[in-house]
Amino acid sequence: MRRVGVASATLGLVLASVVVTAVPASAAYSRCDRLSTVSIRGQWVDAPAFYNPNTGATTTTCSLWQTTRYSHVVQELQFHLANCYPAPVAQDGYYGPQTVAAVKAVQREHGLDPDGVYGPKTRDAMRWKKQPVHIPGCI
């Protein structure tokens, strides 16, 4: 009986680790780990990007998804969501339920699959706060 309990506990830990570390299927891109100033619809914005240390290249073809780790990249995404969309989202740097809901709302509004994952399609479709930030409006 004791072996069964230990085996069950071990299996439970293994399954829990798989659930926690699983990457969303739609997040086939590298995780965005920095910001990059890019032109979107003819305006310059600070957008999430990925830096490849092997090549030295930076690309905005990257993804963000729900996590419990703080990220200044997520905070920048939240800034644009909070300023260009009616759904309130805290600008706390955590990609939690509020951010997932805001990204899903953006995706639905623009006819994308509402999976809550920020990626290249969401980046291209969403509105961004004009730079410099004192200029009113979003692009």
21-65 per-position pLDDT tens digit: 345 555 578 999 999 998 888 988 999 999 999 999 999 999 999
Contacts with 92 (C-beta within 8 Å, 6 or more apart), sequence order: 70, 75, 78
Nearest residue to 74 via CA among 90, 52, 58: 90
Amino acid type, 100 = V
User: How does pLDDT run across 83-125, given as a tens digit for each residue?
Assistant: 999 878 999 999 999 999 999 999 999 999 999 999 999 999 9
pLDDT at 131: 80
Decide: 106 and 15 in contact? Cβ < 8 Å.
Answer: no
pLDDT at 81: 97
- Give the side-chain half-sphere CA count within 13 A for 108: 9
- The percentage of residues in the chain with a pLDDT greater than 70, rounded to a whole number, is 81
Cα-based distances in Å from 127 to 65, 79, 81: 19, 11, 8
pLDDT confidence band for 7 (50 / 70 / 90) = very low
